[in-house]
Chain A
Amino acid sequence: MKKSLVLLLSLIAVTSGLLAGCGGNNNNEGNNAAAGTNAPNNTAATNAPATEEPASAEPFEMTIRHTQVGADKQKRLAILQDVVNKVQEEVPGLTFKLDGVDSDVNRKEKLRGEMAAGNPPEVFDLFGSPDSKIYAKEGKLLDLTPILEELGIMDKFSNLDPFTYEGKIYGLPIGGSGEGFFYNKEYYASKGWSAPATFADLEKQLADIKADGKVPLAGASKAGWVPLMLANHLWSRYAGPDVTAKFATGEAKWSDPNVVKGFAKYREWVDNGYFKKGELGFEYAEYTTQFTSGEAILMYDGTWKSSVFKEGQSGEGLIGKVGFFNIPPVDGGVGDQTALMRDVNNGYGFSATAGEDERQLAAVKSFIKNMYNEEMQLRGLVEDGVLPAMKLDQSVLDANITDDLMKEIVAVLNSSASSFPAFDSLVQADVTTEISNIQIQKLIGGQTTPEKMGEALQKVQEEANAAVE
Chain B
Amino acid sequence: MNKALRSPLVFILFVIPALVLFLMFFIYPIFSSLYYSLTSWNGVSETVKYTGFDNYTKALGDERFWVSVKNNGCFILFSVFIQVPLIVFFSLLIANVKKLKGLYKTAVFMPSIMSTAVIGILWGFIYEPNIGLFNNILGLFGIEPVYWLSDERFAMLSILITNAWQWTGFYIVMVLAAILAIPRELEEAAAIDGATGFQRATRITLPLIVPIISVVIMLSIAGAMKAADIVIVMTKGGPAGSTEVMATYMIKYAITNFKYGYGNTIAVLIFVFTLVVTVLYQLLFARRSERIEY
A-to-B contact residues, CB < 8 Å: 108-109, 112, 115-116, 130, 134-135, 137-138, 140, 222-224, 277-282, 429-430, 432-433, 437-439, 441-442, 444-445, 447
- Residues of A near B44 (CB, < 8 A) are 112, 115-116, 134-135, 138, 140
Q: With both chains docked as a complex, state the minimum distance between the C-beta of B237 and any C-beta of chain A, in angstroms.
A: 7
* B257 engages A222 (CB within 8 Å): no
Query: In the complex the two chains form, what is the Cα distance from A447 to B240 in whole Å?
Result: 9
Query: In the complex the two chains form, what is the Cα distance from A319 to B135 in whole Å?
Result: 34
Q: With both chains docked as a complex, state the minimum distance between the C-beta of A363 and any C-beta of chain B, in angstroms.
A: 24
- Residues of B near A433 (CB, < 8 A) are 252-253, 256-257
Question: Chain A: which residue is nearest B130 at the CB level?
Answer: A278
Which residues 147-162 in B have Cβ within 8 Å of A in the complex? Answer: 147-152, 155
- Residues of A near B127 (CB, < 8 A) are 281
- Residues of A near B238 (CB, < 8 A) are 222, 224, 280, 437, 441
- Residues of B near A438 (CB, < 8 A) are 64, 240-241
* A281 engages B42 (CB within 8 Å): no
Known: A278-B150, A445-B151. 4 other contacts (CB 8 A): A112-B43, A112-B258, A140-B44, A441-B238
Which residues 231-276 in B have Cβ within 8 Å of A in the complex? Answer: 235-241, 252-253, 255-258, 260
- Residues of A near B42 (CB, < 8 A) are 134
Q: With both chains docked as a complex, state the minimum distance between the C-beta of B33 and any C-beta of chain A, in angstroms.
A: 14
Given contacts A135-B44, A438-B241, contact A430 B257 (CB under 8 A): yes
Question: Chain A: which residue is nearest B236 at the CB level?
Answer: A222
Does residue B2 face the partner (Cβ distance < 8 Å to A)?
Answer: no
Contact-residue size bin, chain B (C-beta under 8 Å from the other chain): 20 to 34
Query: In the complex the two chains form, what is the Cα distance from A224 to B240 in whole Å?
Result: 9
Query: In the complex the two chains form, what is the Cα distance from A222 to B242 in whole Å?
Result: 12
* B241 engages A437 (CB within 8 Å): yes
Task: Kindly identify which residue among A115, A137, A277 contacts B147, using a CB–CB cutoff of 8 Å.
Answer: A277
17 pairs, CB–CB < 8 Å, chain A vs chain B? A108-B256, A109-B255, A112-B255, A115-B44, A135-B44, A137-B45, A279-B150, A281-B149, A429-B256, A430-B253, A430-B257, A432-B257, A433-B257, A441-B238, A441-B239, A441-B240, A445-B239
Query: In the complex the two chains form, what is the Cα distance from A429 to B258 in whole Å?
Result: 8
* B129 engages A281 (CB within 8 Å): yes
Q: With both chains docked as a complex, state the minimum distance between the C-beta of B274 and any C-beta of chain A, in angstroms.
A: 23
- Residues of B near A115 (CB, < 8 A) are 43-44
Does residue B185 face the partner (Cβ distance < 8 Å to A)?
Answer: no
Given contacts A112-B44, A138-B46, A447-B240, contact A281 B150 (CB under 8 A): yes
Q: With both chains docked as a complex, state the minimum distance between the C-beta of B41 and any C-beta of chain A, in angstroms.
A: 9
Interface pairs A-B: 9 shortest CB-CB: A281-B150, A280-B150, A281-B149, A429-B257, A441-B240, A280-B239, A278-B129, A278-B147, A442-B240
